[in-house]
């Protein structure tokens, strides 16, 4: 296939009643010109002459995403306002938030892009990830923008660069006398001021060309953004998020010769940058801990570690900085409760439980609140009876929020709530079940690996970089004839994001063999490659366990019962599905009446 490249470049200065931006449209024009000079076919959409509509974006992408496939690389760039709700990003177009479809569901777009047939797709999101400050904003769903092809062979590699971390601002400012977006300016500098270790040489035709692989961008962008912000306001922080599964020969542009772009530096003797404010500092420390956790997991799954056997893996998992160690404490299962008479149920930490309801399953399951807990010292105990192999349980806590979980035969779910909702759950075999003996042999390693992965996932830093890492992680999920459901769930998401659908199917098979049921999220992630009907395997729970899976339902063609559709705008920004009080009571009632099964 000829290596043709295309780009859809979007810049929106004015969205609804949000503050008008100064650099989004101009930055998009600059990016479009730059990529055209690089030989891209470009569609540029800005609001300089009129509103940018979701239909315009959809049409522009459809121009390049065709069957048969005509391009080897597609770049999708957006600069403008963005929302972050229910752990999913929305790019806001001109008509949002009044018109709920006038936005791009970034997670949905990336999911469909994975099956576009184009080998490599790069998303650049130069937008805030603000939590909507009104219910109107929470109802913005947007569109998925990409064609929904079912007949493509193989999966595309999806590289993504986000200007900031979740619930945080992305900045624009005066650079060299012009208003510019910080990330966009930093990105273009990468090809005029690259560091020596970023440069990679490729042969194009008969010419040797110098390029910057996408894999080399993340650290550079963070350093450059930090420098630019320090010249504007030393109190500002903007943490880049990147996920780059593509290989070193994938790049956006060549290194451009010419004049270096001037960047103002602090004068000699200037004071060091101030520590960020309390809230910003907490966010920065959380991201650092997440990156540390991801690095530990990556090293533990590396080829030298796995060749060294269990002791080498365990030794690497034991190394972490104090911030990471502190963050891991709420992600380890409780040692106070190791079994239930029913062999399944939940230990709830951080909230007291006021109500619980369960679907009936095949054995007329029932749930009881053994101890409501106090939300502080005493954990709540929720026991589930006769749920073999699995049922869905809705648990409502003090204050009205509720979570939806899968009760799995032989497993105790150790759940932790924080201010955002359900932040973590660890499924651990009950000590009176046959799985416990298997689990006990690797208990410390499994518990720690699960906690490290959970911390990395919560901070959007968990990635799979190689086939070897994918195989090693799949091996850790299995415990002889048993599996670790929590680790399997996280792994399925990471493997799917890395385009390793065969490994996702393997996870599904492992879990089916042990659980005799499908976790809802894993079934969603495997849905393009498993023929319907699904056979004799039930699914639990009746909706996604992880909040991030909700944004994948529409691109995967999955429709939930109406009560769940109406509840989805009331999802909390927690890692695990948690509903706000207004929707929680409807969920509980729907379970109790049998509307949800």
- Token pair in block for residue 383: 């026991």
Helix H or strand E segment including 85: strand 82-85
Q: Determine the Cα–Cα distance for residues 163 and 176; give it in Å rounded to an integer.
A: 21
DSSP 569: G
| Residues pairing with 349 in the sheet | 416
> What is the number of other CB atoms lying within 10 angstroms of the CB of residue 6?
23
pLDDT score of 444? 87
Asked, as a colleague might, if the bond just before 119 is cis with ω within 30 of 0, I would say: no
Structure tokens at 299: 């090293």
> Taking the domains of the chain in order of start, what are their residue ranges?
5-256, 279-329+440-463, 330-439+467-593
- pTM for this prediction: 0.89
Residue 366, burial from CB neighbour count under 10 angstroms (0-12, 13-18, 19+)? middle
Side-chain half-sphere of 538: how many Cα atoms within 13 Å? 20
Could you list the pLDDT tens digit for every one of the 597 residues in the chain? 457 999 999 999 999 989 999 999 999 999 999 999 999 999 999 999 899 999 999 999 999 999 999 999 999 999 999 999 999 999 999 999 999 999 999 999 999 999 999 999 999 999 999 999 877 888 999 999 999 998 787 889 999 999 999 889 999 999 989 999 999 999 999 999 999 999 998 888 778 889 999 999 999 999 999 999 999 888 888 999 999 999 888 999 999 865 343 333 333 333 344 444 444 455 667 778 888 888 888 888 876 656 565 555 667 777 678 888 888 888 889 888 999 999 999 999 999 999 999 999 989 999 999 999 999 899 999 999 999 999 999 999 999 999 999 999 999 999 999 999 999 999 999 999 999 999 998 888 889 889 889 988 888 888 887 788 888 888 888 877 788 999 999 999 999 988 888 889 999 999 998 999 999 999 999 988 765 545 578 999 999 999 999 999 999 999 999 999 999 999 999 999 999 999 999 999 999 999 998
pLDDT of residue 306: 60
Q: How far is CA 41 from the centre of its chain?
A: 30
CB-count burial class (<10 Å; 0-12, 13-18, 19+) for 284: middle
Residue with tokens 């990556």: 298
First and final C-alpha spacing in the chain:
48
Q: Label the pairing between strands 482-483 and 478-479.
A: antiparallel
Distance (Å, rounded) from C-alpha 163 to C-alpha 88? 15
C-beta neighbour count of 516 within 10 angstroms: 15
Which run of H or of E encompasses 120?
strand 120-127
CA 476 – CA 29 distance, rounded (Å): 47
d(CA 114, CA 108): 10
pLDDT at position 184: 97
Give the separation between CA 114 and CA 246, rounded to whole angstroms.
12
Q: Which strands, in side-by-side order, build the sheet including 73-80?
A: 41-46, 5-11, 73-80, 120-127, 157-162, 241-243
Model pLDDT, residue 260: 44
pLDDT (0 to 100) of residue 330: 82
Coil vs helix vs strand at 72: coil
Could you identify the residue written with the tokens 């006021």?
Answer: 354
The two structure tokens encoding residue 432? 């009176």
pLDDT at 280: 46
CATH 3.40.50.1460 fits 5-256, yes or no: yes
């Amino acid at each position: 296939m000829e290596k043709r490249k295309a780009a859809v470049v979007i810049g929106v200065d004015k969205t609804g009643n949000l503050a008008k931006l100064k650099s989004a449209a101009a930055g998009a024009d600059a990016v479009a010109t730059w990529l055209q000079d690089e030989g891209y076919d470009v569609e540029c959409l800005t609001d300089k002459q009129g509103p940018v509509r979701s239909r315009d974006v959809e049409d522009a992408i459809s121009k390049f995403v065709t069957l048969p496939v005509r391009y080897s690389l597609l770049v999708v760039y957006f600069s403008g306002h963005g929302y972050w709700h229910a752990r999913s990003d929305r790019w806001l177009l001109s008509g949002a938030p009044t018109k709920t479809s006038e936005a791009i569901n970034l997670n949905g777009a990336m999911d469909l892009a994975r099956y576009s047939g184009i080998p490599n797709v790069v998303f650049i999101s130069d937008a805030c990830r603000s939590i909507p400050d009104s219910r109107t904003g929470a109802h913005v769903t947007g569109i998925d923008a990409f064609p929904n092809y079912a007949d493509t062979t193989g999966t595309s590699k999806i590289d993504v660069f986000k200007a900031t971390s979740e619930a945080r601002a992305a900045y624009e400012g005066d650079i060299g006398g012009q208003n510019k977006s910080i990330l966009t300016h930093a990105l273009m500098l990468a090809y005029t001021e690259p560091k020596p270790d970023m440069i990679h040489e490729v042969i194009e035709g008969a010419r040797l060309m110098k390029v910057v692989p996408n894999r080399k961008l993340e650290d550079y962008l963070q350093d450059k953004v930090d420098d630019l912000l320090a010249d504007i306001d030393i109190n500002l922080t903007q943490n880049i998020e990147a996920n780059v599964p593509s290989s070193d020969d994938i790049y956006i542009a060549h290194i451009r010769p010419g004049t270096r772009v001037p960047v103002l530096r602090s004068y000699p003797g200037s004071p060091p940058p101030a520590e960020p404010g309390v809230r910003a500092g907490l966010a920065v420390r959380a991201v650092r801990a997440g990156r540390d956790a991801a690095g530990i997991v990556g090293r533990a799954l590396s080829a030298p570690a796995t060749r060294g056997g269990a002791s080498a893996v365990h030794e690497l998992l034991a190394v972490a900085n104090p911030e990471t160690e502190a963050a891991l404490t709420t992600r380890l299962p409780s040692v106070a409760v190791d079994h239930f008479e029913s062999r399944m149920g939940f230990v709830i930490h951080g909230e007291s439980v006021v109500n619980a309801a369960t679907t009936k399953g095949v054995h007329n399951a029932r749930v009881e609140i053994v101890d409501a807990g106090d939300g502080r010292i005493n954990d709540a105990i929720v026991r589930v009876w006769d749920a073999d192999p699995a049922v869905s349980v809705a648990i409502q806590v003090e204050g009205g929020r509720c979570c939806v979980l899968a009760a799995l035969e032989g497993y105790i779910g150790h759940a932790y709530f924080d201010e955002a909702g359900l932040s973590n759950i660890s499924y651990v075999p009950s000590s009176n079940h046959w799985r416990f003996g298997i689990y006990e042999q690797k208990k410390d390693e499994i518990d720690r690996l699960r906690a490290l992965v959970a911390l990395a996932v919560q901070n959007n830093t968990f990635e799979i970089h190689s086939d070897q890492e994918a195989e090693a992680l799949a091996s850790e999920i299995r415990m002889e004839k048993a599996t670790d459901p929590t680790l399997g769930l996280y792994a399925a998401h990471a493997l799917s994001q890395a385009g390793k659908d065969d490994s996702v199917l393997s996870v599904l098979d492992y879990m089916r063999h042990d659980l005799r049921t499908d976790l809802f999220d894993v079934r969603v992630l495997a849905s393009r490659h498993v023929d319907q009907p699904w056979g004799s395997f039930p699914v639990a729970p009746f909706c996604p366990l992880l909040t991030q899976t909700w944004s994948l339902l529409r691109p995967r063609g999955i429709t939930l019962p109406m009560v769940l559709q109406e509840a989805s705008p009331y999802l909390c920004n927690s890692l695990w599905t948690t509903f706000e009080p207004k929707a929680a009571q409807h969920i509980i009632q729907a379970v109790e009446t049998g509307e949800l099964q």
